[in-house]
Structure 1
Amino acid sequence: MAPMGIRLSPLGVAVFCLLGVGVIYHLYAGVISSRLAAFRADSSQLKRTVDLRDLLAVSVEAAVLGGREVKTVRSENSLQEKSKGKTREGASEPLTMGDLQSHRKMYNLMKNTFPEVTVNSEEHDNMVDKSAAWSRDIPADILDKIEGGKDVPAESITVWIDPLDATQEYTENLVKYVTTMVCVAVDGKPIIGVIHLPFTGFTAWAFVGQGSNMHRRASYNVSPPKVIVSRSHSGKVKNFLLDAFGNSTTIIEAGGAGYKVLALLEMPSSETGSIDQADAYVHITFIKKWDICAGAALLNALGGHMTTLKGEDIDYSGTPVNKGGLVATVGVDHKALLERLPNWDPDKH
């Protein structure tokens, strides 16, 4: 008897083939799906990096755009001044249309260009301007001094914006003190600083470890130093400095933290008559990080220092308040100067 064979009908063969294809499809679909997910994760990770040279260029553009708003509002005398309240020292904190208009330009430009970066501004406003876009222009001096490809993770970046520094002086038309500022901190360290003078058009910038358009002055004096301080609450700091450096100490009262940092540096000849010259900048009460971060980056890029009164580095991430006061210098022995300061706790004054 011949062995019995198994015969499959054409329909059975078709069903069998379909089942096999289905199994293979599901196996490969799972592999493809997991690889696509990994690809998307990699792509997402790539999107979360930022070229710091681009961020410097946008920071300069933002400071200049904000400065135009500040200048326009002042020239049209349309300040619409109101009070935000009182400072810790009891001084009034004014708010003007110059502050708000500048904030809108600067904040929206930064957020639209780098949406995944944390941006903190002194002012708060719900007006969203989706049209604010970077021109893609990188100034020639930045192209000349800074190489591209300086990529860092977006989540490590904190941007601090001061849309109008020295608002009190702005309301009094003491416009030489007024600046707009942008600072980029990476892991809490100030890396990029931009300080723009709206009423002269000059912009100071620095990228720590890479370059700057600013320089130290040829000489500084610390025996005794010329110290620049805030004009809004200069009484206590004057006594503090006279105790530290003696009665022959020159104390310069000025508005705006940005202006005070520029007073430590060599300025262009067109600015020489308008900017005071100081050897140190001292502040003995609380101060906000958007006031000082850009100046810290400029000084650090030139080998200078901005620390608390106790010589501690300031962390430019997290909350906006620096509670330790500050001492800013360049071209002098910062540590030796700190050692001459009397004990002072800003939290108790």
Structure 2
Amino acid sequence: MAPMGIRLSPLGVAVFCLLGIGVIYHLYSGVISSRLAAFRADSSLIFSGQKKPVDMRELLAVSVEAAVLGGKEVKAVREENGLQEKSKGKTREGVSEPLTNGDLQSHRKMFNLIKNTFPEITVNSEEHDNVVDKVTWSREIPADILEKIEGGKEVPPESVTVWIDPLDATQEYTENLVKYVTTMVCVAVDGKPVIGVIHQPFTGFTAWGFVGQGSNMRARPSYSISPPKVIVSRSHSGKVKSFIQDAFGNSTTVIAAGGAGYKVLALLEMPAGETATDQADVYIHITFIKKWDICAGAALLQALGGQMTTLKGEVIDYAETPLNKGGLVATVGVDHKAVLEKLPNWDPDKH
């Protein structure tokens, strides 16, 4: 007897094909729907003229990556002795402001990384040039940021101002006093400092803080303001010493240091294994200072419950002009108002 075979009628073949198509449609319809929804969302932003909102956790990650990338340039230029130092002018007090290849190389990496990732936000840098670098974000969010910071917090790009200092403490950098050197990024939203990143290129350590969210730093267990240890600028240590002694007494310890970023870290507790900075209770500056020098520190301190104000206790706006004319007082872990009340009358505009 001949073996029996299974024969499908043309109608059966058609039914089988239709069933197969149904299964495939079921499997892919969810993917297609989600992609269409994303396309419609992006299209609605484009055609309505709206700008894509900025994810703040991503901006924090990009800020950290930018500071580290700039720091690598700073370190490489110093180690290769390729500073190519020149002066970009003098400060209001008549002090020469050096500019090095480290400043410029760091600026190009930091500025372009942030602008390439978030082209619609405002980025202010201490340095300026027309060199375009196609550097792009790695799309990686560090584990400590994922652990401490919630995602999904978005703001309109027009409310964001980023301040970057590609090389803080350039004078000390030229003198090879590299412990003072930092690279810094600050994100201000509607003029208020929200994200602060301070990176130390020669140790590899990065401090960051997100106001209202968290930080990888913490305040020290105790501070004193009776009298305090006060950290000040090396370039103005003479005038500020008498100012501080008038405020807190002649036994007050005054620490002269370079770099605003370094001085903020001196108020905090460094993690175990990191190179210790000078330890201070208060940071005071009595002359004009640029906002890219202080914005990152302001955000970092505020994330830890601290404050940075003018000498008169005024809030500093980080959405406007680069120059802060009111001097500054920075604290954490102490009564900020009590510190302000001890200060003598001083007008930075007259000194």
Common fold: TM-score over 0.5: yes
**Matched letter for residue 195 of structure 1:** I
- Once the 2 structures are TM-superposed, how far is the Cα of residue 271 of structure 1 from its aligned partner? 3.0
Q: Which residue of 2 aligns with 1:244?
A: 247
SS at match of 1:269: coil
State which of 322, 325, 328 in structure 2 corresponds to 1:323: 325
Q: Which residue of 2 aligns with 1:276?
A: 278
Structure 2 vs 1, CA of residues 222 and 50 (structure 1 numbering), >3 Å: closer, same or farther?
same
Q: Which residue of 2 aligns with 1:334?
A: 336
Q: Is the 8 A contact 1:230 1:256 kept in 2?
A: yes
SS at match of 1:54: helix
Give me the whole-angstrom Cα distance separating, in 2, the residues matched to 1:281 and 1:44: 45
Q: Which residue of 1 aligns with 2:195?
A: 192
**Matched letter for residue 326 of structure 2:** G
Q: Is the 8 A contact 2:45 2:52 kept in 1?
A: no
State which of 59, 74, 77 in structure 2 corresponds to 1:70: 74
* Pair 1:111-2:115 in alignment: yes
Q: Percent of counterpart pairs with the same letter?
A: 82
Q: Is the 8 A contact 2:203 2:275 kept in 1?
A: no
Give me the whole-angstrom Cα distance separating, in 1, the residues matched to 2:52 and 2:46: 11
* Pair 1:81-2:81 in alignment: no
Structure 2: gaps (5+ residues): 1-42
Give me the whole-angstrom Cα distance separating, in 2, the residues matched to 1:313 and 1:41: 37
SS at match of 2:273: helix
Q: Which residue of 1 aligns with 2:28?
A: none
Structure with the greater alpha carbon radius of gyration? 1
Q: Which aligned pairs between 1:205-244 and structure 2 lie closer than 5 A? A: 205-244=208-247
Moved >3 Å (runs of 4+) = 38-44
Give me the whole-angstrom Cα distance separating, in 1, the residues matched to 2:343 and 2:222: 22
SS at match of 2:103: helix
Note the alpha carbon deviations across 1:245-302, whole angstroms, 9 max, x for none: 00000000000000000000000233354x0000000000000000000000000000
Q: Which residue of 1 aligns with 2:172?
A: 169
* Pair 1:258-2:261 in alignment: yes
Structure 2 vs 1, CA of residues 41 and 173 (structure 1 numbering), >3 Å: closer, same or farther?
same
Structure 2 vs 1, CA of residues 307 and 40 (structure 1 numbering), >3 Å: closer, same or farther?
closer
Question: Root-mean-square deviation (CA), in Å?
Answer: 1.5
* Pair 1:309-2:311 in alignment: yes
Q: Is the 8 A contact 1:48 1:155 kept in 2?
A: no
Q: Which residue of 2 aligns with 1:30?
A: none
Give me the whole-angstrom Cα distance separating, in 2, the residues matched to 1:177 and 1:120: 22
Give me the whole-angstrom Cα distance separating, in 2, the residues matched to 1:155 and 1:132: 23
Q: Is the 8 A contact 1:89 1:233 kept in 2?
A: no
SS at match of 2:225: coil
- Once the 2 structures are TM-superposed, how far is the Cα of residue 48 of structure 1 from its aligned partner? 3.1
Give me the whole-angstrom Cα distance separating, in 1, the residues matched to 2:123 and 2:341: 35
The count of aligned residue pairs is 311
**Matched letter for residue 315 of structure 2:** D
- Once the 2 structures are TM-superposed, how far is the Cα of residue 42 of structure 1 from its aligned partner? 6.2
